[in-house]
Structure 1
Amino acid sequence: DGGSERFFGGRFKPGWNPDLLLSYNYVFHLMAVSRYAINRIELPGPAMDGAQDYDLAWKVSELARDICYVPYVLYHWRLHAGSTSKNQDSKPYALEAGARAIEAHLQRQGMRAQIHAGRTPFSYKVDYLGWAPSVSVIVPIWGLVDCDRCLESLWQHAKGACHEILVAGPSDLLGARGKSISMAKEKDPRVSAIALEVGKRSRAAVVNSAARRAAGDVVVVLEPDCCIEDDAWIGALVGPLARPEVGCAAPLLLARDGKVAAHGLFLREDGTVVPIEQGLDPENPGYMTFLAHPLDVAAAPGACQALRRKEFLSLGGYREGFGVLASTELCMRLGDTQKLVVSVPYSPVERLGRVRIPEQWASRECRQALMAAHPSIAGGAYRPDLSLNDRNGFFELCR
């Protein structure tokens, strides 16, 4: 800290995380780049003054055959009054240069975007332009949960933002909710019911059948105990799917007490699912401000997932045999095809059920099935220098 020898504010960076990098330059200070790559890019010019390393990171990543992550402490740096880390007003031009670096990267990928100031100092929020897919919301009815508040919230906060709302489930379960669904259809003509054979009670079968009948470019699977609180939620959720490398997007999930239920999921090597930053206030930016920004994660909670419909169906949809981990297993398959799973915190979705994240209570049999299907299971933003307690994803230094 300045002239002292006090070490503080350890930042144990995650591995390659493009959505986090679109929010701020977490790669700063130390990066080794091959001469092969340097010789094949345009080096940062005056327009990138203050963000040369940010611009360089993006340009190199676009042609790199591989990006290697070194999970060790390799440097310390001195914080002084003129440092942007301590005083964001010391180099105001750096913030603008960083936005230009992001915009230029996306343009090179054939995308247009507006770059806004993010929630924390020297961070950014990307709004994708020219991306307005038709969206089908699937509300699967496969248990005893009522869907009244979910459908009401969709009517209030998804006007014009989605093409159709499909309430799908076994015919007997839909019949038990006939009055609620009929009232929703009278109020909102986008609502329709898809009755399946009584024997098809698994969530995977319900969602897969509905996805085959959906008309949207994107399907949003939304559990019936979830409520929408923000008119901008669909735009914020499907925005990252404008990038072809993103396979699944999920919102920040809140529990009924208003605390964070999950900002995406970690997976331990034994198949245990750990919700990231569970129990924090949503206003808390979290470790390295992860909670304030989109984050590429190992998996997304099944409570709400947005996926391209054709891609979802080409992968075979959700698979049977994984129980509550079927949506987690789909994320693993997306990862196997080099697709990203991103958690987006801008428009949270509230889950009213008593169990925040059913995946974290998966049976041993489900976890074993997941490990058998995906042996290299640990992933996401995990760092060996950070510890996670058994049931939530608080980041803290290992003792």
Structure 2
Amino acid sequence: MSSSWEYKPLISIIMPVYNPDTQHLIEAIESVQKQVYPHWQLCIADDASSETSDIKDILHNYEKNDARIKVIFRSRNGHISAASNSALSLATGEFVALLDHDDVLHPLALWFVAETIVKNPNVGLIYTDHDKLSLDGTRCNPYFKCDFNIELMLAHNLVAHFSCYRLNLVNKIGGFREGFEGAQDYDLALRCIECLAPEQIIHIPHVLYHWRISEKSTASCLKVKSYATTARLKSASDYLKRNNLPGRVVPHPELEGMNRIEPQFSNTLPLVSIIIPTRDRVDLLKPCLDSIYSMTTFPSYEIIIVDNASEDPETKEFFLHLEQKGVNIIRDEGIFNYSRLNNLAAKEANGELLCLLNNDTQIITPHWLEEMAFFAIKSDVGVVGAKLFYVNNKVQHGGVVLGLGIHRVAGHSFTGISSEQPGYMGRAGIQQELSAVTGACQLLRKSVFWEVNGLDESLAVNYNDVDLCLRVRDAGYRNIWTPFAQLYHVGSASRGKDTTSEKFSRFEQEIEFMQERWGKLLLKDPFYSSNLSLENGYTLAFPPRSF
């Protein structure tokens, strides 16, 4: 399979060993020996395992019978970081990969890694999907990952199992840091990542690593190694400090093993212009505004109402009341066009940040604007989205997946799950980069909005929010979704459903517009695994979609 390659990279596998189950150790070593790709070396450091065990005899035997296996025996126990560095000192390959002493590699693991290196000569970090091995050896809990995502990485170790690094990079940063035991691989990854461009980090969407669940492993429960939590939080916190990034890393309030970045602002808070298009329906608009006034703790905002040809006397009287309170009311008599209405308001907005907000929303979390503005003010961030709920507390929007749904344009993630459910691998509850977020609540810098010429008025109703996000990404910005800004959203309450023939025809035209503009991108969302379905979000695709 690799015989035709001119370049066959040598991959050094680092394995620290300390008192493992002997059968599990044997399975780990032999999973390396069974690799289809032959150009590897296994670098093992025994961290002073018990003299009464068979570990040393087993390691001596493998080293004696396979020249590709190199073993160093440490005279005293130094814990996993020190042992990993000892193993690292044996490595002579261009790349080093990490393997725990009781885990198992898929036979094609190194072949896929080597192929990726050959096709991407500047790659610095490669990571794969993984699953777990239960106590009886059954494979379970596969993690089908997305392409690299630093927000997701700061929430948990996205690249762990199986990860492979360029050796000179690992040596450059000083290898594994002692004092980070339990999260030493997470810390290593974060320190390597900050030295790499995004295109140098490549994800292989195959399950190539089997992580064994044991009584001593974090694969079963983080409480097994409480020190791992401390090390994990410090790893992420140090990353922020090294890169002069604001925020405070704390344990996720609901998801064990996950981090959460709390907002911190060093400068004066920017003015946010909250833009709300509406047509009559005071019964929706008033609760929306009341929730903003009563709940919002962010001190610096203005409200702009775009009145799209309201006729109800009650509405007109309500607008007079709002104007007396200083609310800017912009009047537009044209047919409904969400994009045009927001563009009109954006031209009059005084804020550095624009918040595009539907009139059928209500604030749940008082710090919603802090959570969103924390990301939106960053120079590399474009659009920021929130977590939206139906009034029955079921999730309405947990981000957008491109291609999801029968029309293969875009759909909401995690719709219908309860507020307590974490979603697939916790992704309904952690901050992350996404391709797009819903326009029911979007926050972005006004400069970014106009850099991409605002919302496209060719999309009057549907997908204008997704299109905006994709154009913002094309301009070089990252779109972020945070679950810590939460609102209720009724959904289409003001303008109604697309049930008439005229509305359905327009909807079909908007679908065609998106497919023509964005093409194959709609079927290859970088933040959604090709192993997952586009019919039902975050469920297994069978067979897998093309990679």
* Pair in the same fold by TM > 0.5: yes
Q: In structure 1, which of residues 324, 327, 331 is the aligned counterpart of residue 469 of structure 2?
A: 331
Instruction: Look up the match of 2:224.
Output: 90
Question: What do you get for the CA RMSD once the two structures are aligned?
Answer: 2.7
Hey, what's the Cα distance between the residues in 2 that align with 1:149 and 1:42? 56
**12-21 vs 126-135, which moves further:** 126-135
Matches within 5 A, 1:121-140: 121-131=256-266, 132-140=269-277
Q: Does 1:178 align with 2:316?
A: yes
- Structure 1 residues 302 and 75, CA gap change in structure 2 (3 angstroms): same
Instruction: Look up the match of 2:487.
Output: 349
**362-371 vs 175-184, which moves further:** 175-184
Q: Does 1:33 align with 2:165?
A: yes
Instruction: Look up the match of 1:318.
Output: 455
Specify the code of the residue in structure 2 equivalent to 1:180: F
Q: In structure 2, which of residues 533, 537, 544 is the aligned counterpart of residue 393 of structure 1?
A: 537
Hey, what's the Cα distance between the residues in 2 that align with 1:264 and 1:349? 13
Hey, what's the Cα distance between the residues in 2 that align with 1:212 and 1:235? 24
Q: Does 1:194 align with 2:330?
A: yes
Specify the code of the residue in structure 1 equivalent to 2:510: C
Identity %: 24
Hey, what's the Cα distance between the residues in 2 that align with 1:271 and 1:25? 30
**129-138 vs 251-260, which moves further:** 129-138
Shift of residue 178 of structure 1?
A: 2.2
Instruction: Look up the match of 2:510.
Output: 366
Hey, what's the Cα distance between the residues in 1 that align with 2:440 and 2:312? 19
Specify the code of the residue in structure 2 equivalent to 1:370: M
Specify the code of the residue in structure 1 equivalent to 2:471: R
The question of whether the paired residues in 1 share the 8 Å contact of 2:413 and 2:537 is answered with yes
> How many residues align structurally?
393
The question of whether the paired residues in 1 share the 8 Å contact of 2:263 and 2:371 is answered with no
Hey, what's the Cα distance between the residues in 1 that align with 2:531 and 2:145? 9
Look up the SS of the partner of 2:481 in the other structure.
strand
Shift of residue 85 of structure 1?
A: 2.5
Shift of residue 8 of structure 1?
A: 1.6
The question of whether the paired residues in 2 share the 8 Å contact of 1:228 and 1:349 is answered with yes
Look up the SS of the partner of 2:249 in the other structure.
strand
Shift of residue 381 of structure 1?
A: 2.5
Hey, what's the Cα distance between the residues in 1 that align with 2:297 and 2:214? 50
Q: Which runs of 5+ in 2 are unaligned?
A: 1-132, 499-503
Shift of residue 61 of structure 1?
A: 2.2
Q: Does 1:299 align with 2:436?
A: yes
Matches within 5 A, 1:1-399: 1=133, 3-65=135-197, 66=199, 67-118=201-252, 119-131=254-266, 132-141=269-278, 146-170=284-308, 172=310, 177-185=315-323, 189=325, 191-196=327-332, 198-199=333-334, 201-268=336-403, 271-323=408-460, 324-353=462-491, 363-375=507-519, 376-377=521-522, 378-389=524-535, 393-396=537-540, 398=542
Shift of residue 246 of structure 1?
A: 2.1
- Structure 1 residues 57 and 174, CA gap change in structure 2 (3 angstroms): farther
Look up the SS of the partner of 1:32 in the other structure.
strand
- TM normalised by structure 1 equals 0.89
Hey, what's the Cα distance between the residues in 1 that align with 2:297 and 2:323? 14
The question of whether the paired residues in 2 share the 8 Å contact of 1:161 and 1:234 is answered with no
- Structure 1 residues 268 and 2, CA gap change in structure 2 (3 angstroms): closer
- Structure 1 residues 303 and 192, CA gap change in structure 2 (3 angstroms): same
Look up the SS of the partner of 1:195 in the other structure.
strand
Hey, what's the Cα distance between the residues in 2 that align with 1:380 and 1:179? 48
